Amino acid sequence: MDCIFCKIINGEIPSYTIYEDKIVKVFLDVNPMSPGHMLIIPKKHYENLDDINMSTLTHLNVIAKKMHVLLKEKLNIDGMTIVQNNGEVQEVKHYHMHLKPYYKENNGITITQVYEKLMDCKKKNNPE
Ligand code: 5GP
Ligand code: ZN
């Protein structure tokens, strides 16, 4: 299947991965609406809200809570919006939840700097 997010999961396309386990992967959006904009996706391909099962959905939300804590701790966000698109407004047809941080003042940091702050590390090479 020609799915860009399945390719990210199997490593064919690199990503700034923030978290992963057996069920989900979390990575930074390549075209962020604000610093720290991340996507939480199931590792199994589900197209949308109609396809995904409740236990996977619950797990995605558990991870969203963890990522909210991380964003508050590491990037000092002032708010966060969760968006999940379906149908005509969904560009990538692999279920994903957007976590979009809000800042009272735009801090203007780059995606690499965001990654380093979230992961407490220095990135050696840029994966995207
Ligand atoms: P949608 O409209 O489907 O909810 O949003 C898809 C999101 O996926 C967009 O915000 C877009 O920037 C992001 N995206 C698309 N292709 C890639 C990619 O190859 N890597 C990453 N990290 N994000 C992507
Ligand atoms: Zn997929």
| Arithmetic mean of pLDDT, 16-41 | 97
Task: Report yes or no on 91 lying in a domain.
Answer: yes
Task: Report yes or no on 41 lying in a domain.
Answer: yes
- CATH code at 19? 3.30.428.10
Among the atoms of ligand 1, which is closest to the Cα of residue 15?
Answer: 22
Residue 30's domain spans which residues? 4-121
- As a whole number, the mean pLDDT across the chain is 94
Task: Report yes or no on 104 lying in a domain.
Answer: yes
- Is the CB–ligand 1 distance for residue 90 below 6 Å? yes
What's the CA gap between 66 and 72, in Å, rounded? 10
pLDDT at 106 over 60: yes
pTM for the structure as a whole: 0.94
Could you report the per-residue pLDDT of 69-87, keeping only the tens digit for each?
999 999 999 999 999 999 9
pLDDT at 127 over 60: no
pLDDT level of residue 1 (50, 70, 90 thresholds): confident
Task: Report yes or no on 96 lying in a domain.
Answer: yes
Task: Report yes or no on 126 lying in a domain.
Answer: no
28 CA to centre of own chain: 5
- Is the CB–ligand 1 distance for residue 91 below 6 Å? yes
Write out the DSSP string of 19-83.
EE-SSEEEEE-SS-SSTT-EEEEESS---STTTS-HHHHHHHHHHHHHHHHHHHHHH--SEEEEE
Task: Report yes or no on 92 lying in a domain.
Answer: yes
| Set 37, 45, 68, 96: catalytic member | 96
Task: Report yes or no on 127 lying in a domain.
Answer: no
- State in Å: Cα 95 to ligand 2 middle: 8
Burial (Cβ within 10 Å: 0-12, 13-18, ≥19) of residue 57:
middle
- Is the CB–ligand 1 distance for residue 112 below 6 Å? no
Count of structural domains within the chain: 1
Task: Report yes or no on 106 lying in a domain.
Answer: yes
Q: Is 37 a catalytic residue?
A: no
